[in-house]
Chain A
């Protein structure tokens, strides 16, 4: 053997007990599973490859939303969109769900970019929550979270107790958990939800970025996960303000170990294009490199 084998045994196959499964409006589900070994290793941006049960042949990649290493559980948010996720939603507490993970790379913080802006849209919210929960423990970072949804949020929005300079005064709703963590956050939607910004998440982000003095703005790095139109808009936003960005993308996936090249996305590679695997080369890529 001539090459390092550091990749070996990095993915765990864990039979996880389903602890709870909560249904929210808009076919959204929040699932908590006892998976202590995956919880121990998981990083924000990574996902688990979930066996939805027979007769589905392919697992479904679901981002990790919350991870409790002490209690040994992981929490996932997903939407019932197809046969697999509908089947998964029928699983009951006490049942065992097979997980493969943690899969993929993760979001990388940079000390000098101390004002991370976290943007999560729809089922792209989970990695931002995971990241926020880590950031609250890291000294020196001053994160700002924005979440967006076009269906009711999978939590009950409440007015935030944290004031944020540069936010429109009517935009006051937040996710209570983030408030509890002391992480400033606001919500956006085009559905007219009370206290939320009425428009796209990137428009709210633009207002906030524009309100920062140049020195502060130069410390911003954008992290985002969400539907492709949102990520495309985030890419444009980052270019507009000349800010670095890291985006988590998704694509239909089969193996999740890098074996089949089914889940690739086109990535700028020097002067050319490379088809990179979302599962093991991603799911997080430098924003400016992604070709949407």
Chain B
């Protein structure tokens, strides 16, 4: 790969007015607070366009009881429960340790109420993060625990309230666990979102037969990995139909584990491609994905990685 520090690579892309090294984004919840994967020799934050930091709430959270992760066919379930040290700690203690010259860092804001989202976003607005992702899949405590993101009205309320307190790019992370993701996207655009991340995990369960209990301490968890890729592709494509005319970019995500997967998501309408679970199998997978994207770019004689976004013909 091209040394991003001295020379902009051919895969560099614009996203909400920010220049990224390439279209790859490391996904929230998979990469801690941005420095964890640099433990692996050969891994560099420079090799990705952006890193989405772990979901952050107003107060510290211990997260869910054990077990929290479990492998399933072609994927895994997780129920971490937003373990995080709280937004003040993240802004004051963690962000100053990150090297913003290597890549872009996106915050991931969570809340149990609209007010909490607003407080967290306001705190991140006054910080060096490059963009703020709204994790609207959190349970709304004032609506009996139903996830904000599963309802267009509640999703839009979160976006609208957060829009009012930040000028940083807002990325709304859409849930696949709803009837009409496109309608939700439409409402969130009207409420002021700058971009989308699609999709969050699909809710699932695993059963421990011997114990006659769910395997996960939380009972249920989010399914990720290649198992959800076809679902994610469809959702990205559906959201793209809404975003296309409005110029709203999408971070396509859900089971991406190869360069070919990344190309598929981009053709379906993703401007950027998120990588998460695949890192657990191959920590250096982003190098291979970026190489593949570059090969694809040369193969189709494209000038940049934005050229084939949404270029999916009719069936």
Contacts and interface: CB of A to CB of B under 8 A. Distances in A.
Contacts of A11: 39-41, 283
A253 B76 CA distance: 11
Contact of A258 (B32, B62, B96, B98): B32
A135 interface: no
B74 interface: yes
Interface residues of A, number: 40
A261 B83 contact: yes
Interface stretch (B189-197, B235-243, B273-281): B273-281
A115 to B, nearest CB: 34
B281 A59 contact: yes
B74 A55 contact: yes
A262 B40 contact: no
A271 B311 CA distance: 57
A33 B100 CA distance: 39
B29 interface: yes
Contacts of B76: 57-58, 254
A7 B74 contact: no
A51 B280 CA distance: 10
Given A58-B71, A84-B71, A252-B68, A259 B41 contact: no
Contact of A251 (B39, B42, B66, B96): B66
A257 B281 contact: no
Nearest to B42: A13
Nearest to B72: A57
| SS class, residues of chain B in contact with chain A | loop
Given A11-B41, A84-B71, A264-B63, A255 B83 contact: no
A257 B68 contact: no
Interface residues of B, number: 42
Given A253-B69, A273-B62, A13 B284 contact: yes
B97 A3 contact: yes
Interface string B234-278: 000000000000000000000000000000000000000000010
A10 B37 CA distance: 10
B36 A251 contact: no
A251 B71 CA distance: 13
A262 B41 contact: no
Interface of A: 1-3, 5, 7-13, 51, 55-59, 83-84, 98, 100, 251-265, 273-275, 280
30 contacts: A1-B101, A2-B97, A3-B97, A8-B39, A9-B38, A9-B39, A9-B41, A9-B42, A10-B41, A11-B40, A11-B41, A12-B41, A13-B283, A13-B284, A51-B281, A55-B74, A56-B71, A57-B76, A57-B226, A100-B40, A254-B76, A254-B78, A254-B280, A255-B30, A255-B283, A257-B36, A258-B32, A260-B69, A260-B80, A261-B32
Given A264-B83, A274-B62, 18 more contacts: A1-B98, A3-B97, A8-B39, A9-B38, A9-B41, A12-B41, A57-B71, A58-B71, A251-B66, A252-B68, A252-B70, A257-B40, A259-B32, A260-B32, A260-B78, A261-B32, A262-B80, A264-B63
Interface of B: 29-32, 35-42, 54, 62-63, 66-71, 73-76, 78, 80, 83, 96-99, 101, 225-226, 277, 279-284
